[in-house]
Amino acid sequence: MSITLTKQPESLCILRLSAIGDISHTLPVVRTIQKNWPTTKLTWIIGKSEYSLVSDIEDIEFIVFDKQQKLAAYRDIRKKLAKKHFDILLHMQMSLRASLISLLVNADIKLGFDRQRAKDLQWLFTNAKVDYKPRQHVIDSFFCFTDALGINEHNLQWNIPVPEEAKKFATQVLPGNKPVLVISPCSSMAYRNWLIERYAAVANYAHTKHNMSVVLTGAPAAVDRQYADGIIAQADCPIIDLVGKTDLKQMLAVLETATVVLAPDSGPAHLATAVGTPVIGLYAATNPDRARPYLSAEYVVNKYPDAIKLSYNKSVDDLPWGTRVRDEGTMALISVNEVCLVLDKLVSSEN
């Protein structure tokens, strides 16, 4: 649907709490609104860890929701929103948690996803819906919100500030005289993760064939540490280990400095896109047409159709959009040789 506005709204609230990848996907929508409605006051309700990524973006009021506080978090949000009124709420997260927060937002228009896509009963919490458009990338589905507001432009800009301290950190830990392959091996969903020994093999290939420095990045979680230790143990080349040793801004600076990033469907893959670094995306468990690094389609290693055939004995087109394959061994469909061929292609295009 298209919302008829007689004038530029004075205030607009964005409700998108998580996760890091989806916060990155939301930013082009935010930048599009800022460009077309420069005087509209923007407020963004966002998760605590995600806030650390975007907190220094200018001209946005952030209201932080800390889910770790449980019921107290809702009381805190209610207090912060008590005296606020918005012309429009963009309810951009399909979760019961976000929908409960939407009840605390005083807005004339509460715009959410269309009935066909509005999971977790989101459609019950909105009074306006975006137009249904099937089989979209997540970023394109988010742009349905600005389309509904009558903004026809899609401004593919992220512009996440990278502090000088973070840039200095990246300069100190990364070599300045070689191309850099950053491997971010883990997703928050374990079924998306590739094999440790295959990451190590690609690291060896990148070092030997392309004289690349290899860097590991990741969260301080146990699985990230397990992957890092395993890759380092099995690789025959030097590896710079930054797993669990960066905050989000430092990681962003490292990704920005890299020549290329290798990652499964994960937040760091989308952050690399946000800072203009090409990504070799590893996709078998999830559909790259929906969730690939947005600007790196030509560098995706796509085994998703094969995984769908093996798991469901159907084609991608025969299943609901966004169907995932969680079967053990799915990511093993991606071979080392396929990844190395894409790395060759990317390095060749960079030279």
> What CATH architecture applies to the domain 11-148?
3-Layer(aba) Sandwich (3.40)
Cβ atoms within 10 Å, residue 72? 10
Q: What's the confidence (pLDDT) of residue 6? A: 83
Q: Which two tokens stand for residue 148?
A: 């509904």
Residue 301: enclosing H or E segment and its boundaries? strand 301-302
Domain ranges of the chain: 11-148, 165-350
Domain 165-350: give its CATH superfamily: Glycogen Phosphorylase B; (3.40.50.2000)
The predicted pLDDT at position 2 comes to: 66
Tokens of 346: 């990317």
pLDDT digits (tens, 9 = 90+) for 182-222: 999 999 999 999 999 999 999 999 999 999 999 999 999 99
Residue 1: predicted pLDDT: 66
pLDDT tens per residue across span 9-63: 999 999 999 999 999 999 999 999 999 999 999 999 999 999 999 999 999 999 9
**Amino acid residing at 41:** K
All residue ranges of the chain with pLDDT < 70 are: 1-2
Closest alpha carbon to 203 in 223, 228, 224, 169:
228
What whole-number distance in Å separates Cα of residue 132 and Cα of residue 125?
17
Q: How far apart are CA 160 and CA 276, in angstroms?
A: 11
Encoding tokens for residue 221? 């979680």
Instruction: Tell me whether domains 11-148 and 165-350 share a fold.
Output: yes
For the chain, the C-alpha Rg in angstroms (whole number) is 21
